Structure 1
Amino acid sequence: MTDATVDSDAATALRDKAVDELRAAGTIVSPRIEAVMRTVPRHLFTPGATLDEAYQVYSAFVTKVDRHGVQLSSVSAPQIQAMMLEQARVQRGDHVLEIGSGGLNAAYLAELVGPDGAVTTVDIDPEVTARAARLLAGNGYGHVRVVTADAAEPIPGVGKVDAVLVTAGAWDIPPAWTQQLKPGGRLVVPLRVRGLTRALGFTLVDGHLESESSKVCGFVPMQGASAHQEELLLVTGTPEIGLRFDDGLPENPGLLDNAVRTPRVELWTGITLGISELLDTLQMHLAIALPGFCIMAVDPDLDTGIVAPANRSFALAAVEGGSFAYLTTRRTEDDKHVEFAVHALGSDAGSLAGKVAGHLRDWNREHRGGPGPVVRVYPAGTPDDLIAGGRVVGGRVIDKVHSRISLSWPPA
């Protein structure tokens, strides 16, 4: 028995173990997704990784960073790849466009579409596409078309496709993505809305996209014309406390200049949450309900205790006039739950804390444990009266460069 045989057997065992874990977790439900993830040798698409690293179920393998150490490209974790493949519902004979290349996901897609289908994978970075082309060709998938281009523009020669899978974090939906879809086609994209990223599975319906599924995720951000930077408001004038806004700063951010000099209001709500309970619907509820929604982060090296979030790198927050508020938690006596509180500072801190607490109670009563909001994407310039859900009480429309995004809760 050779070392290569031992490595192959070990890889097969690790691959099967990862797939078994994803099946048990309910991430993989389709026999076809299970089969391709057992078939394609993931470790051959992650050169430089050990076998254990290649088959870590919940860990991506980073393939490129910039000079500051920021990730530019990676092979997504098996859990993320399985989740998005399930959302895409790719069938045999489909024509599929992948935006964001790595090689491995394109190989999965090639297996799913079979010999009568076609897969094109696109990336803006020629180093990434060269690597993807080399790995695909070297592992029996040379028929996958690899293109170096900015996918914000239509890809020549692709035509209409059944599905578009985006494997980089997007802030907007360029028109090219929907223009290349057949009627009823599917788009799966990690879309950032109000600072929250969700892998959304859309279907093209009557000229707009309508979500069918939503999963919490994180991705390397899009590069090129579709790149978008959040705006940061430093409420102390230093990096100690930063408020990140996804769709522009408040109209008059200077109103917050003296907010940190006021006493901190602390409002405990009595609402508790299990330690392992998901926060996805709470996050979306506040993002929809609060006009000044943002994400607060505290620099641990500069922290003077002005604010006290449970998670210093990510706290749900909101700004209104000269005040800002954020959510925090504390452990309950049984150590199995946490209780929510709203902290607020500023000229009208008590009022804002009460509003945020009221929205927290609304979520607890109406949306906790239920489905997430329906997300609809319309072309920029679509009139309000043509946007479903945008005028519903509890809904919100967010204007981006290429699109208008409607968020609304499904009927009870």
Structure 2
Amino acid sequence: MVNTLRHDDANAAEFRDGLVETLLEKKMITSPLVERAFRTVPRHLFVAEGTPLDVTYSVDNSVAIKRGPDGVIISSTSAAYIQARMIEQAELAEGMSVLEIGSGGYNAALLAEVVGPEGRVVSVDIDPEVTDRARELLDATGYGNRVTVVQADAENPLPGLDEPFDAILVTVGAWDLAPAWLEHLSANGRIVVPLRMNGITRAIAFRRQGDHLVSTSAEVAGFVPMQGAGAYDERVFLLPDRNGHHVKLRFEGEVPQDMSLLDGVLATERTEVWSGVTIKHGVSFADLHLWFAAFLPGFCKLAVDEGTDMAAERKGWFPFGVVRGGSFAYLAVRPVPEGGGVEFGARAYGVHGEDAAAAMVEQIQAWDRQGRDREPVFAYWPEGSRRPEFGNSTAVLVKTHGLATISWSPTADAADDQGALHNPER
């Protein structure tokens, strides 16, 4: 349904310009074409009616479009910062053609502004309610004749789109790259996709290199998961505590054998192991999470009910864990003296909790030695591509239609490594 809310134009424009200035200051927008698009398209006319302007035009707020029966968001207008970064990652120019997978209207309007009147934008979504809404909003805001909206499962080739696209932007969390996407991508095109890698997502810009794809940039991001044939569900295990509350262990990769060994684990005494690795306040360590997903067998993400002991200490831990037999550990931090930041470590439950914590700490130390302050290189190897032997600094994630690799090698990309280290997801 069209958003009929009409804020005062000058007021909305003021908020919009403020958003753009912040995106420019933080270098999330770096090109004049993207700046112009964000200054032009009225984001407030694409979000849910009644959404306050300060929420609509904030840098890092996504806004729900549709929720499932359980209340979980299944479609949203993404946060402005990641929309800006993904459009910049695609390296678009006027006159280019763009395929957007995952519709909503606003991002497609931005793309139409960037590629201009001579460009081509096609936006696809599996949900007819979402595509109907997108068409209506694009028509209402003057972009209906510049964006073609298609209702289809983009996991399959899209009929009638014979000309390849210069860029493809996937705006939903994807566990794999569908072969159909690569069929629609031109030889020199870029595909930007929020790729889920063992529970950790990066919005990665890929270009072709021979028979495979290599990353040109990557951004930390979170997206609603893909629906349809490309969906991939987590497996969730509940650990009850003595009061009937639960700790949830969420696995996207391989699940350790015999999870029943964890029965009653929360009743055991908690143990701790510390790494000696520190970080200053305000410095991102998102690549440590990616390192865990790549190299830590038994890696999982955690969620906890209010009322559990873990919830009470929430400020000192992060939702990343590891299972070892009948024990599990999770990432934790503690202050270092004189306000110099925090030290990484692991807290654990179970008879062999110290071993589980030590396994996590070992990877914290490995990241500190080999991955910290190095930009990882991502590659994707479709089925049928010629795959080399991968080196010890490369993690290999097995997907449905190919392999994804993550390399922290300082001197070679993923295609040049020797040796092998595999961490299959299936």
| Amino acid in structure 1 at the alignment position of 2:66 | K
| Amino acid in structure 2 at the alignment position of 1:284 | L
C-alpha deviations, 1:378-397, integer Å up to 9, x for none? 22476xxx435x62103221
Q: CA deviation at 1:207?
A: 2.7
User: Structure 1's 120 and 306: CA in aligned 2 closer, same or farther, altered over 3 A?
Assistant: closer
User: In the TM superposition, what are the counterparts of 1:21-170 in structure 2 within 5 Å?
Assistant: 21-46=22-47, 48=49, 49-143=51-145, 144-159=147-162, 160-170=164-174
The answer to whether the Cα contact below 8 Å between 1:120 and 1:158 also exists between their aligned partners in 2 is: no
Aligned partners of 1:347, 1:139: CA distance in 2, in Å?
A: 61
Aligned partners of 1:376, 1:90: CA distance in 2, in Å?
A: 21
The runs of at least 4 aligned residues of structure 1 exceeding 6 Å deviation read none
Q: CA deviation at 1:315?
A: 2.0
User: Structure 1's 107 and 270: CA in aligned 2 closer, same or farther, altered over 3 A?
Assistant: same
The answer to whether the Cα contact below 8 Å between 1:380 and 1:400 also exists between their aligned partners in 2 is: no
C-alpha deviations, 1:336-376, integer Å up to 9, x for none? 522212223334433333332222122223322331x2221
Q: CA deviation at 1:137?
A: 1.6
C-alpha deviations, 1:199-257, integer Å up to 9, x for none? 11111222322211111111122111111211112344876222111024213323434
TM-score between both structures, scaled by the size of structure 1: 0.90
Q: CA deviation at 1:6?
A: 8.2
| Amino acid in structure 2 at the alignment position of 1:35 | R
Q: CA deviation at 1:401?
A: 2.0
SS at match of 2:8: helix
Aligned partners of 2:239, 2:395: CA distance in 1, in Å?
A: 26
C-alpha deviations, 1:159-181, integer Å up to 9, x for none? 31111101111112111111111
Aligned partners of 1:259, 1:204: CA distance in 2, in Å?
A: 47
Alignment partner of 1:331 is 2:329: no
Alignment partner of 1:7 is 2:43: no
User: In the TM superposition, what are the counterparts of 1:248-263 in structure 2 within 5 Å?
Assistant: 248-257=254-263, 259-260=265-266, 262-263=268-269
Q: CA deviation at 1:38?
A: 0.9
The answer to whether the Cα contact below 8 Å between 1:57 and 1:79 also exists between their aligned partners in 2 is: yes
User: Structure 1's 229 and 83: CA in aligned 2 closer, same or farther, altered over 3 A?
Assistant: same
| Amino acid in structure 2 at the alignment position of 1:289 | F
Higher mean Cα deviation, 235-244 or 141-150? 235-244
Aligned partners of 1:59, 1:6: CA distance in 2, in Å?
A: 19
Counterpart for residue 398 of structure 2:
399
Q: CA deviation at 1:45?
A: 2.0
Of residues 161, 175, 180 in structure 2, which corresponds to 1:176?
A: 180
Q: CA deviation at 1:61?
A: 1.8
The answer to whether the Cα contact below 8 Å between 1:260 and 1:306 also exists between their aligned partners in 2 is: no
Counterpart for residue 289 of structure 2:
283
Counterpart for residue 419 of structure 2:
none
User: Structure 1's 262 and 90: CA in aligned 2 closer, same or farther, altered over 3 A?
Assistant: same
Alignment partner of 1:363 is 2:367: yes
| Amino acid in structure 2 at the alignment position of 1:395 | T
User: Structure 1's 107 and 277: CA in aligned 2 closer, same or farther, altered over 3 A?
Assistant: same
Q: CA deviation at 1:288?
A: 1.6
The answer to whether the Cα contact below 8 Å between 1:330 and 1:339 also exists between their aligned partners in 2 is: yes
SS at match of 1:404: strand
Alignment partner of 1:207 is 2:211: yes
Of residues 359, 371, 379 in structure 2, which corresponds to 1:376?
A: 379
User: Structure 1's 387 and 408: CA in aligned 2 closer, same or farther, altered over 3 A?
Assistant: farther
SS at match of 1:120: strand
C-alpha deviations, 1:246-285, integer Å up to 9, x for none? 0242133234346445443311223222221112111111
Question: Which segments of 5 or more consecutive residues in structure 2 lack a partner in the other structure?
Answer: 412-426
Q: CA deviation at 1:318?
A: 1.3
Q: CA deviation at 1:333?
A: 3.9
TM-score between both structures, scaled by the size of structure 2: 0.87
Aligned partners of 1:46, 1:5: CA distance in 2, in Å?
A: 12
SS at match of 1:334: helix
User: Structure 1's 357 and 251: CA in aligned 2 closer, same or farther, altered over 3 A?
Assistant: same
Report the identity percentage.
Answer: 43
Alignment partner of 1:268 is 2:274: yes
Higher mean Cα deviation, 40-49 or 187-196? 40-49
SS at match of 1:90: coil
C-alpha deviations, 1:76-107, integer Å up to 9, x for none? 12112111111111122211100111111111
The answer to whether the Cα contact below 8 Å between 2:379 and 2:404 also exists between their aligned partners in 1 is: yes
| Amino acid in structure 2 at the alignment position of 1:57 | V
Counterpart for residue 346 of structure 1:
350
Aligned partners of 1:410, 1:115: CA distance in 2, in Å?
A: 43
Aligned partners of 1:392, 1:57: CA distance in 2, in Å?
A: 39
| Amino acid in structure 2 at the alignment position of 1:387 | R
| Amino acid in structure 2 at the alignment position of 1:164 | I
C-alpha deviations, 1:110-137, integer Å up to 9, x for none? 1122222211000111111111111112
SS at match of 1:209: strand
| Amino acid in structure 1 at the alignment position of 2:130 | V
Counterpart for residue 409 of structure 2:
410
Aligned partners of 2:53, 2:302: CA distance in 1, in Å?
A: 38
Q: How many residues matched? A: 402
Aligned partners of 1:85, 1:167: CA distance in 2, in Å?
A: 11
